[in-house]
Amino acid sequence: MKLTTLTAATLVAFSSYAAMAEPVITVTDARAFETPPTAMSGGGFMHIKNDGDTDDRLIGITADFPKVELHTTEFTDGIAKMMHADGVTVPAGGMVALEPGGYHVMFMGLRGDPLEVGETIPATLVFEQSGEIEVRFDVVARTMEHSH
């Protein structure tokens, strides 16, 4: 009987150790800015934290829009240009902020249905290691502090 107890304890300890080697993703502050009625797209932003011991990579986003992509902002001669990004690495023990002027989500194809304050956008983030994580983007007012 003692051997069985010891074996079970060893398996539990091993399982806990194995789980610690995985990325542990937490998403906070998921938000999108309101858009004018004529906008064809809107931006989504969030903080992604990885409390695990291995890097993970955000490789896709799905939501109820004709097209949803991960973009980054590149500046050339002082002009910002949004470029499609294949993914963004979330380092082990680190955090990545998707913010205006950097990486962000583009919800494309609004077609006259603007993002309005108070709405929420359900979406699924797809990670290489962690798989799919459900998230809701809160639509918030665009203020001066958000326009950088």
Per-residue pLDDT averaged across 82-100, rounded? Answer: 95
> What topology is assigned to 23-146 in CATH?
Immunoglobulin-like (2.60.40)
- Give the residue with greater pLDDT, 128 vs 10: 128
Under a CB-based contact definition with an 8 Å cutoff, are residues 24 and 56 in contact?
no
- Per-residue pLDDT at 143: 80
Q: Where are the domains of the chain?
A: 23-146
Does the pLDDT at position 96 exceed 70? yes
Residue 58 pLDDT level (bands cut at 50, 70, 90): very high
Alpha helices in 1-142 (DSSP H): 2-20
- Give the residue with greater pLDDT, 2 vs 93: 93
3-state class (DSSP) for residue 10:
helix
Separation CA 138–CA 131 (nearest Å): 22
Residue 74 pLDDT level (bands cut at 50, 70, 90): confident
Residue 144 pLDDT level (bands cut at 50, 70, 90): low
